Amino acid sequence: MSRADVTPAGVYHRAVVYGLFLILLLPLAGTLLYSLATSWSATILPEGLTLKWYLALWSDERFLRAFGQSLVVCFGALALSTVLILPLMFVVHYHFPRLDGLMNILILLPFAVPPVVSSVGLLQLYGSGPLAMVGTPWILIGCYFTVALPFMYRAIANNLQAINLRDLMDAAHLLGASTWQAALLVVLPNLRKGLMVSLFLSFSFLFGEFVFANLLVGSRYETLQVYLNNMRNSSGHFNSALVISYFFFVLVFTWAANRLNKDKP
């Protein structure tokens, strides 16, 4: 502990930070306790603790199917985003750097249009005809791609600016590498951190997305958030167990992403 931490101002600042952290944790702690309670109505603390709500949740085939389908559409959208965005960003930043300003405007369009408005347009466009995809995971993957685009583009663009792309490519060319060899063997490894950050941010947002999933596919391809909405009238203990399981999964995913993103000695 440094000297600044033991001064009155340092102690005050630490107390404020810990206090805010505790306030943020209280709702989560209450939800966790309620998910473990046998009954909790007229008493300050639960009458007893049990794991039956978690056992009921993780033995529910409908929940497992919704959980798996959420992973499928999220990973599918992220894979599509990675395959399309990385080459596009390389071409823009290396060959047409003046287009970066235009791209920054275009990638904000998904945030400019409310999800409900976008969903109505997509329902009319893909509800019938040769491209009828409403009610299928394909339309969700396409929607999630547009949602993930701003997160991925901005994170990777910052990484490209940090590594000084043009100088790195010129150095690779001097050593005899072709443009695509330099892009794959030199530039891409240097984008690992930016790519990991963008994928994690996008996954965290997409895994909790509800509006597109509910309006475009609903119960025909039930995702985790749609399942939670459909189960809102069931036991509160059961729903609390679902929320805590969701939070725990995101927490584990965050930890794994941080571990993978650490530089190896």
pLDDT tens by residue, 35-44: 888 887 777 7
Residue 248 pLDDT greater than 80, yes or no: yes
**CA separation for the pair 155, 66 (Å, rounded):** 30
Q: Are residues 66 and 27 in the same domain?
A: no
> What's phi and psi for 72, nearest 5 deg?
-60, -50
- Distance between first and last Cα of the chain: 26
Q: Are residues 19 and 87 in the same domain?
A: no
Q: Are residues 90 and 44 in the same domain?
A: no
Q: Are residues 140 and 40 in the same domain?
A: no
Q: Are residues 157 and 103 in the same domain?
A: yes
Total structural domains in the chain? 2
Identify the pLDDT of residue 95: 84
pLDDT bucket at 63, cuts 50 / 70 / 90 = very high
Altogether, the residues listed in the chain come to a count of 265
Identify the pLDDT of residue 265: 47
What CATH number should be reported for the domain holding residue 198? 1.10.3720.10
Contacts 24+ apart (CB under 8 A), 246-250: 246/207, 246/208, 247/28, 250/204, 250/207
Expressed as residue numbers, the domain containing 18 is 1-50
Q: Are residues 40 and 69 in the same domain?
A: no
Which of 2-11, 13-22, 140-149 has the lowest average pLDDT?
2-11
Q: Are residues 233 and 117 in the same domain?
A: yes
Q: Are residues 28 and 135 in the same domain?
A: no
Tally: H helices and E strands in the chain:
15, 0
Residue 131 lies in a domain: yes
SS3 232: coil
Instruction: State pTM to two decimals.
Output: 0.82
Residue 107 lies in a domain: yes
- Using only C-alpha atoms, the chain has a radius of gyration, in whole angstroms, of 23
Q: Which two tokens stand for residue 185?
A: 């063997």
Q: Are residues 118 and 153 in the same domain?
A: yes
Residue 177 pLDDT greater than 60, yes or no: yes
Half-sphere exposure in the Cβ direction for 225 (13 Å, CA): 17
To the nearest whole number, what is the mean pLDDT of the chain? 84
Residue 158 lies in a domain: yes
Q: Are residues 137 and 28 in the same domain?
A: no
pLDDT tens by residue, 124-140: 888 777 778 888 899 99
Residue 56 lies in a domain: no
pLDDT tens by residue, 165-176: 888 888 888 888
pLDDT tens by residue, 187-209: 888 888 888 888 888 888 888 88
Residue 35 lies in a domain: yes
Q: Are residues 237 and 172 in the same domain?
A: yes
Q: Are residues 79 and 174 in the same domain?
A: yes
Residue 55 lies in a domain: no
Residue 263 pLDDT greater than 80, yes or no: no
Residue 82 lies in a domain: yes
Look at residues 231, 226, 180, 183 and name the one whose alpha carbon lies nearest to residue 207.
Answer: 226
Residue 29 lies in a domain: yes
pLDDT bucket at 76, cuts 50 / 70 / 90 = very high
**CA separation for the pair 241, 58 (Å, rounded):** 10
